[in-house]
Structure 1
Amino acid sequence: MTNHASLSRLLCSYDADLDTRPAVGLHVEISQNDAEQPIHRHRKGQLVLALHGSVTCEVPQGMWMVPPQHGVWIPGGMPHSNRATDNARICFLFIEPAAARMPEQCCTLAISALLRELILHLAAAGEAGSARVEALLLELLVTAPVEQLYLPVSDHAKIRRMARCLTKDPSDRTSLAQWAQRLAMSERSLARLVTQETGLTFGRWRQQLHILVALRQLSEGATVQQVAGNLGYDSVTAFITMFKKALGQPPGRYFAGLK
């Protein structure tokens, strides 16, 4: 099923929990700028794939930017919101809780080309979808590798504020000391707060955000030079070094391995 709508209107008009099939696909094309689906929850688990553009999913303990060739898994019953960029194309896969042994926590799953095509086929077929396709899809999905491609974010208001600002402008190079002043804290207290709430130092936390943004922009056709500039790096070499340190390979080799 394909819908052309804002995420908020979609939430009001479509309820996946009313469909009792093991797996239900929904293809959404966003026409509204920076469309957002407010915090909600449903019985079914939900896999979010970005076919074009960017989707950010927020849950109580994290912010998940859907990377290329990956999907974000949100277990049933978990409150979450989804925010999409202009002209994004998204595919949702809703799964009944007892239909497959999916992870109990939010996570990023690597999605193979075959699995992606099965999900798109199911979404296009709508109610005419095949039970055999559903079964094969779920069999493959439960074996999809889990990857640590997310930005840990807590419920703490100051951490959320920083995450929102840095997501909106990834090139922001505000230092920890400057953030502390802006948030009316000491630098030492803010450093401790970031580590306690995210498990990462401030520098490593911001670097994780840069990795997620870089993956999205590179997958959409931006050059390495453009992405380095968009993220505020002084040189392309510095960006490539950061990328390789985080993911084990330079950008070109990393994307070649995903094909």
Structure 2
Amino acid sequence: MSTALPFSIQRISHQANTSIDEHWHEQAQLLVVLHGTASLLINGERWLVLERQGIWIDKDIAHSVTYGKHSEMLLLLFSAAKCEVPSKPFYFSNLLLELLEEALRVYDTADVSQALALINPLILYCITNSQHDGQLHLLGGSDRRLTRAIACLNQQPGIWLNLVELANHAGCSAKTLSRLFTAETGISFIQWREKFSIMTAMERLAQGQSVSQVALDLGYQSVGNFSTMFSRVMKIPPGKFTITAAKGYIAATDH
């Protein structure tokens, strides 16, 4: 990126089930998902970024990304930006989208330096004042036994291991694993597993999978059981779940 420009911008796309290994940037990064979904692992924490959401990642922060369906996004790298926002998804406004489209339009023109100098503070203002979301987020842990347990769940979301069975995979007792979940994620194993199921379901529903297929893949004995759980947490049946519905749910429950 030229040092004369406050940021670079490019439109990129990835095919379904594309994974990008852990990496980092020397500049702060803004990832905006126009179509599709992105699942990021940042410092051992999983973040789900849905369509019409963006996420800010500070410079030198290691992260990996998986795109569950064909996804189109905008990637911005900022040369010296300071944006006092957490690395969590936010819903981008029509104003921010117009600013990004204008930045793309002028990027290869002679007026790029002057235009981006004007657009840059407006983009940062929009990010700072957007509706940020901490709901689509799962804490990980640093203890190797907990990371082994979580890796096992991620690899087999449809197999419902109980705490004793999962502890055997992790190489510790059920009591120890239960304590680790509470101490390092802030919630119990049961609560973590339910949130894991919700996030996985939201991602797959957003990718266009049917309710019955999602329920089957997540190991539920019936579609009814899955729908009951999803409706209780999301306040909307999975069959009616859309990105717009998710936005309304998060806005209503965000604290």
1:183 aligns with 2:170: yes
User: Counterpart amino acid of 1:137?
Assistant: I
How many pairs were matched up? 240
Q: Is the 8 A contact 2:38 2:67 kept in 1?
A: yes
Name stretches of at least 5 consecutive residues in structure 1 with no aligned partner: 1-15
Match of 1:196 in 2: 183
Q: Is the 8 A contact 1:72 1:106 kept in 2?
A: yes
Match of 2:217 among 216, 220, 230: 230
What is the CA distance between 1:20 and its match in structure 2?
5.2
Contact 2:16/2:69 (8 A) holds in 1: yes
Q: 2:17·2:66 contact (CA, 8 Å) conserved in 1?
A: no
Alignment CA distance shift 1:158-1:26 (3 Å): farther
CA distance in 1, matches of 2:149, 2:94: 35
Distance between the aligned counterparts of 2:207 and 2:16, measured in 1? 19
Cα-Cα RMSD: 2.9
1:83 Cα deviation after fit: 3.5
Q: How far 1:31 sits from its partner (Å)?
A: 5.2
- Cα distance change of structure 1 residues 37 and 191 upon mapping to structure 2, 3 Å threshold: same
The structure having more radius of gyration, on CA atoms, is: 2
Unaligned regions of 5+ residues in structure 2, if any?
Answer: 249-255
Q: Do residues 22 (structure 1) and 6 (structure 2) align?
A: yes
- Is 1:159 the counterpart of 2:149 in the alignment? no
Q: Residues 47 and 72 of structure 1 are in contact (CA less than 8 Å); yes or no, is this contact kept in structure 2? A: yes
| Equivalent pair of 2:3/2:79 in contact (CA under 8 Å) | no
Q: Does residue 243 of the first structure (1) align with residue 230 of the second (2)?
A: yes
Q: Which amino acid aligns with 1:185?
A: C
TM-superposition CA deviations, 1:95-143 (whole Å, max 9, x none): 3443x5331x422212235534543553565444532444433322211
**Whole-Å Cα distance in 1 between the matches of residues 95 and 191 of structure 2?**
34
Cα pair distance change 1:120/1:82, threshold 3 Å: farther
Distance 1:101 1:195, change over 3 A: same
Aligned equivalent of 1:3 = none
Which stretch of structure 1 is more off in the superposition, 67-76 or 202-211? 67-76
SS in 2 for 1:37: strand
**Contact 2:34–2:53 at 8 Å: present in 1 too?**
no
C-alpha displacement at 1:188, in angstroms? 0.8
Deviation, 1:91, is 2.8
